[in-house]
Structure 1
Amino acid sequence: MRSGAPVIGLLFNPLSGRIRKRKDAIRRVLAGLPGATCSEVTNAPEIKASVDAFIQADIDLLVIVGGDGTVQGVLCHLFATQPLARWPVLTVVPGGTTNMTALDLGICGKPEFILQQLKGYLLKQIPPVFLQRHVLCIEQAGAAKVYGMFFGVGFIARAVIFSQSKIKQLRITGEIYSGIITFGYLVGLIFGRRDGAWAPVRMSIIERNTGVRHGTYAFLFASTLDRLLFGMRPYWGQEKEPLHITFVRQKPKRPLRSLLALLTGHAETLKEQDGYHSCNTGALELLIDDDYIVDGESYRASSQDGPLRITAAGPIIFLGAGR
């Protein structure tokens, strides 16, 4: 960002999960941010138009007030239209049903309080904390590239898709929302469920330099974030690569104990011969006919269109939480 007072663009999604009940309080804080222009968006065309306007205005900082889905919409449009050299610094105020990107940047709390803190930092000209993160690029022949920070297939995708129609009706958001999904999966696992949201996924996994794995899996996820929900770090690869990959075979050994190890940060004890695999890589390909999710948004993959390829784009620069 340029020295002195930065030029700021604020992208505010009033329909995001944690914002609906706080819209008026958030709008009051936004109005008081120095050097800021605010744009309210509720859909993809509005996000694109607002981002284009901010780029034309040569802003230094783009503040995204929304959830992971809003962040993903911004990332997809910026990658599709702008070279990295023209990007502003990004930061995220967690306002969605899920907010993994913000949490990984150390930003947590009520949106209006975080915006007040940002206002204080700007007025006092406190030195910023910049963080670099790569971004997932998901592509398949015949479809537009999708960018995001978290990819999931198998149980993870089914649970998110199911919850969008059921749990969201209860207006539950944040880590409570994610906790209900996790708890529901554990209960289903204990009682041996293998259908519906617990149905496994058949796929071929092609990793760089390790060949092809064919099989049936409970889930697979990939992320460039250092930590996920609840502060979890459910991957244990040692390779110096930006993509963190973890997948679990259907019917692994000691499933309940092992999933607790994933949730509590002791995943390094899990063994591949027991059905658990994690690594860091630069690229991953999947041959799959199933649904997948990227930052809470659902998509469909077909092996007839060739492999679904996941690579790392960036890195891009975020403004993180102050020390």
Structure 2
Amino acid sequence: MTRGLIVNPQSGKASGKGLELASLLKNDTHVVVRILDDFSRLGAFLEEMAAARVSELFISSGDGTVQAIQTEIAERYAPGFVPHLALLPHGTTNMTAADLGFRNRNVKVQADFIANRQPRILAKRPTLRVANPKDGKIRHGMFLGTGAIWQATVFCQDAVHRVGLKGDFATFATLAAAIAKSLFSPANPADPTRIDRPYDITLLQGGKTVLADQHLMLLATTLDKLILGTRPFWGGKDGPIRVSTIPYPVPSIARWLLPLMYGGEDRTVPQGARSLSGSSFEIKTRIPFVIDGEFFEAPDDAPLRLETGLEFTYVCG
């Protein structure tokens, strides 16, 4: 059995965890270790992993690198080469790893597992395949958002991360800033710096319009839980993709934030909030999207298509 390790050394503000792990494994002939110091080399590294018949691929990175690796495997190598993935949360944002990642965060324990241990805990999950973005690059991620989610991600990357906060702390700071602004200053739909403003979003399923008009946000995911352990879905799960929308205006962000993020399948939600599940959806909006931390836009002449992507098996422990 051959295992692989890909380390993005810039993940997590260059925390060094991935490089430490690579150093511990560099002399193990049963582990193919590659340092992704140049992202253009990712394709060549995966080619090596496929040739070496790597059965389990450990990824030391954040969400963006995980998405890129899943995309390459799904679009270039499947079904011939689809290794089990083990996500090591060494990045600035680790939403996917929080749900499906390797559970022990100690680098020495991770090295010992890669060198000597067999997996006991596995999880299976399909990707969220973004089929037709404007730039033509298909993506296999796990989380997509638009509206206020896009605006909040911009704020996180431009302001919060600059002062050293990352991961769940950055998300908490962003939410806190939005809530504080809504509590102490009146809504201003024309203010482009406000996260809590209206966005024109239309959602279609099976070619039929499910909802339209102005909304605060839309999110779509194949994950069971998101950042900070949130589960902003309700009404039952009938398909691998869950899509939730929050209307604008929300009666009270302070009142509805916790029920929307942490309630059960039968939770009470504000009027106009919707949650659906299925195998595919289409979204019409001129607002940019974010998928696993990466920004992109829908095509000019068609709605953005979300599809159920390749199912991966994840090594959790």
Normalising by structure 1, what TM-score? 0.88
> Which residue number corresponds to residue 218 of structure 2?
220
Using the alignment, how far apart are the partners of 2:309 and 2:5 within structure 1? 24
**Which segments of 5 or more consecutive residues in structure 2 lack a partner in the other structure?**
none
Secondary structure of 2:251's counterpart equals coil
- Indicate the residue corresponding to 1:311 in structure 2: 307
Coordinate RMSD, CA, aligned:
2.3
In the alignment, structure 1 residue 55 sits paired with structure 2 residue 50: yes
Shift of 1:289: 0.9
Q: Does 1:120 align with 2:112?
A: yes
**1:237 aligned partner:** 235
TM-aligned CA deviation for residue 300 of structure 1: 1.6
Q: Cα–Cα, structure 1 residues 129 and 32, in superposed 2: closer, same or farther, change >3 Å?
A: farther
CA distance in 2 between partners of 1:49 and 1:219 (Å): 38
Aligned pairs for 1:18-57 within 5 A: 19-22=14-17, 25-31=20-26, 35-57=30-52
Structure 1 residues 179 and 255: CA distance shift in structure 2, 3 A: closer
Residue equivalent to 2:276: 279
Q: How far off is 1:19 after superposition?
A: 4.1
Q: 1:239 to 1:295 in 2, by over 3 A?
A: same
Residue 219 of structure 1 and its aligned partner are, at CA, apart by: 0.4
Deviates more, 1:200-209 or 1:45-54: 200-209
CA distance in 1, matches of 2:235, 2:304: 22
Aligned to 1:77: 72
**CA distance in 2 between partners of 1:267 and 1:251 (Å):** 23
Residues 89-114 of structure 1, C-alpha deviation per residue, up to 9 Å, x if partnerless? 1110001111111110253564xx1x
Does the residue aligned with 2:4 lie in a helix, a strand or coil? strand
The answer to whether the 8 A contact 2:234-2:275 is kept is: yes
Amino acid at match of 1:301: A
SS in 2 for 1:211: strand
Aligned counterpart, 1:150 = 143
Q: How far apart are residue 230 of structure 1 and its match?
A: 1.4
Is residue 156–residue 171 contact of structure 2 (8 Å, CA) maintained in 1?
Answer: no
Q: Which moved more, 1:76-85 or 1:276-285?
A: 76-85
Q: Distance in 2 between matches of 1:127 and 1:76?
A: 24
For structure 1, which segment, 117-126 or 278-287, has the greater mean C-alpha deviation from structure 2 after superposition?
117-126
| Count of aligned positions | 311
Task: Provide the C-alpha distance between the structure 1 equivalents of 2:140 and 2:101, rounded to a whole number of angstroms.
Answer: 21
Name the CA shift for 1:305/1:218 in 2 (closer, same or farther; >3 Å): same
SS in 1 for 2:12: coil
The aligned residue for residue 101 of structure 1 is 96
What are the superposed Cα offsets for residues 148-206 of structure 1, whole Å, 9 maximum, x if unpaired?
A: 00000011111112321222222322211121122122223323344324132102111
SS at match of 1:188: helix
Q: CA contact under 8 A between 1:134 and 1:313: conserved in structure 2?
A: yes
**Aligned-partner Cα distance in 1 for 2:57–2:114:** 14
Provide the residue aligned with 1:3 in structure 2.
none
Q: 1:161 is matched with which residue: 126, 137, 154?
A: 154
Shift of 1:34: 6.5
* Inter-CA distance 299–228: structure 2 relative to 1 (3 Å threshold): same
Q: Using the alignment, how far apart are the partners of 1:137 and 1:221 within structure 2?
A: 14
Higher mean alpha-carbon deviation, 255-264 vs 59-68, is at: 255-264
Query: Shift of the alpha carbon at 1:11?
Result: 0.5
Aligned-pair CA distance for 1:127: 4.5
Contact 2:9–2:19, Cα closer than 8 Å, also in 1 = no
> Structure 1 pair 31/18, CA: closer, same or farther in 2 (3 Å)?
farther
Match of 2:254 in 1: 256
CA apart distance, 1:121: 3.5
Is the Cα contact below 8 Å between 1:62 and 1:88 reproduced in 2?
A: yes
Identify which range, 7-16 or 200-209, moves more after superposition: 200-209
For the structure 1 residues 122 and 203, does the alpha-carbon distance in structure 2 shift closer, same or farther, using more than 3 Å as the test? closer
